[in-house]
Structure 1
C-alpha cells in the first residue's frame, strides 16, 4: 500500500518544524538570565564582623528592566531583604529598597553586581540567602542562586602538623637524593683520576723498560765485535 505524497510532505514539514523549534528553544534556554553567588557559595565568619553576600547576573542577549531581590530563609520562611529594578546594563537600580537593618546594597552596575553587605553580624544572620533575577527581555525568564552564611564564636585553627611532616619527609628525601648524587659523582671523578694516573705510570714504566733493554743489547754487540787478540 503506497502512502499518498501529500501525507509524506506533511510529515517532512512537521519534522522540520519540530527540529527548528527545538533548536530555537535550546538557544533560548542558553540565553536565559543567570544569577551567580561565586565558585564558593558559602562563608564562615566571626560573630560581630562585617561580611559581603555576593551575587552577579549575566545574560547573553542583555537585560531590560531586570528585577532582582534577596530573600533570607528563616527556618523555612522566606523573608525579603532587598529588591530593585535595573533598567539596562551599567545603570544603578531604580526603586531600590532594603528591608533589613544592618544591610546595605553595594552592587556595582558596570560589573553586573547586586551584592549585599551585612554589618556586625549575629547568630541570627546565619542561614541561606537567595539571590533572584527575572529578565523581561527574555520573556520573563528567571533564575536564582543561594549563598550560605555560617556565624561562629571563634575561627578554627587549622592543624598543619601533618602537612609539615609530609613537607619535611619530602624535603629530606630530596636532600638525601641530591647528597647521594653529589657523592656518586665525586667517587666517579676520583676513580677516573686514579685510572688516568695508573695508565700514565704504566706508559712511563713501559718506556723505561724498552730503553734499558736496548742499551744492554747494544753493549753486548759491541763486546762481541771486538777482535780476538793474536797469540805471540
Structure 2
C-alpha cells in the first residue's frame, strides 16, 4: 500500500522511486548559482599594478563587495616576501559603515580606507626598493558561511620614472595617415578625370549631332536645286 504524498515519510518513498535524485540534480546547481552570485568579492581596481619612485608615498587600493551585506568581516593585507607571506595589517569590520580598529605589523603603513564605501585601502609612506612586490588584499565574511576572496596588487619601485618613447608610434601613425591621404588624393583625381572625360564626350556628341544636321540640310537644298526644272511656257 502506498503512503499518501502528504505524510512526512513519503519523501523516502519518492526518493526510492527516483524523484528525489532528479530534484536534487536540478536544485543543487540552481542554489549554487544563487550562492556564488552573493559571494564576497575583493577588488584592487581595473589596473592591479603601480610604478612609483623610490621615496614616494603610494596608496594600495582595495574594496570589498557583498550582495547580502557583511557581519564581522575579517580582512588583511599581506606582502609576498620571496615566497613568504607577511602580514601588513588586519582587522574585523563589525558591520557596514563602521570604522575598524586596524592592527598594523609593518612600519610606514597607514590604514586610509576607514571602511568608507567599503574601502580597506592602505598607504605606504616613503617607499623603498624593498617595498616593491606583490601585495594581497584578503577578506572573509562569516555572514556568507565564511566565504573568502582575495585580490593581488603589484607595486614596482623605480629610481625614476622614464618617459615612454613614442617615436615608433608617431612614425607608424604618420605613415598610415600619409597613405590614407595619398589614397584620398588618388580617388579625387580619378573622379575629376572621369568627370572631365565625360563632359568632353558629351560635348563631342553634341558637335557630331549638330554637324550631321547641317550636312543633311545642305544636301537637301542642293538636291532641290538640281532637280528643279523650268516650267514650260504655254503656247
- Give the superposition deviation at 1:13: 6.1
- The answer to whether the aligner puts 1:92 opposite 2:69 as a matched pair is no
Please name the residue that 2:172 is paired with: 166
- Give the superposition deviation at 1:88: 2.4
Counting only pairs closer than 5 Å after superposition, residues 166-205 of structure 1 correspond to structure 2 as: 166-205=172-211
Please name the residue that 1:28 is paired with: 35
Contact 1:85 1:93 in 2 (8 A): no
Listed one character per residue, the Cα deviations across residues 89-141 of structure 1 (whole Å, up to 9, x for unaligned) are 3x132223334333222226453221112222111211221111111111222
- Give the superposition deviation at 1:25: 4.4
Contact 1:66 1:87 in 2 (8 A): yes
Give the whole-Å Cα distance in 1 for the aligned partners of 2:23 and 2:215.
107
Gaps of 5+ in 1: 1-5
Choose from 135, 158, 162 the match for 2:141: 135
Give the whole-Å Cα distance in 1 for the aligned partners of 2:45 and 2:181.
41
Choose from 221, 225, 230 the match for 2:230: 225
Choose from 42, 45, 59 the match for 1:38: 45
Give the secondary-structure state (helix, strand or coil) at the position aligned to 2:220.
Answer: helix
Residues 25 and 211 of structure 1, relative CA distance in 2, 3 Å threshold: closer
Give the secondary-structure state (helix, strand or coil) at the position aligned to 1:133.
Answer: strand
Listed one character per residue, the Cα deviations across residues 175-197 of structure 1 (whole Å, up to 9, x for unaligned) are 11111111111111111111111
Counting only pairs closer than 5 Å after superposition, residues 10-29 of structure 1 correspond to structure 2 as: 10-11=15-16, 12=18, 15=21, 18-19=24-25, 20-21=27-28, 23-29=30-36
Residues 24 and 187 of structure 1, relative CA distance in 2, 3 Å threshold: closer
Give the whole-Å Cα distance in 1 for the aligned partners of 2:70 and 2:83.
31
Counting only pairs closer than 5 Å after superposition, residues 44-55 of structure 1 correspond to structure 2 as: 44-55=51-62
Q: How many residues align?
A: 224
For the aligned residue pairs, the C-alpha RMSD in angstroms reads 2.8
Give the whole-Å Cα distance in 1 for the aligned partners of 2:79 and 2:218.
109
Give the secondary-structure state (helix, strand or coil) at the position aligned to 1:225.
Answer: coil
- Give the superposition deviation at 1:205: 0.8
- The answer to whether the aligner puts 1:119 opposite 2:125 as a matched pair is yes
Please name the residue that 1:69 is paired with: 76
- Give the superposition deviation at 1:17: 6.9
- The answer to whether the aligner puts 1:78 opposite 2:85 as a matched pair is yes
Residues 21 and 190 of structure 1, relative CA distance in 2, 3 Å threshold: closer
- Give the superposition deviation at 1:10: 3.8
Which is worse superposed, 159-168 or 119-128?
159-168
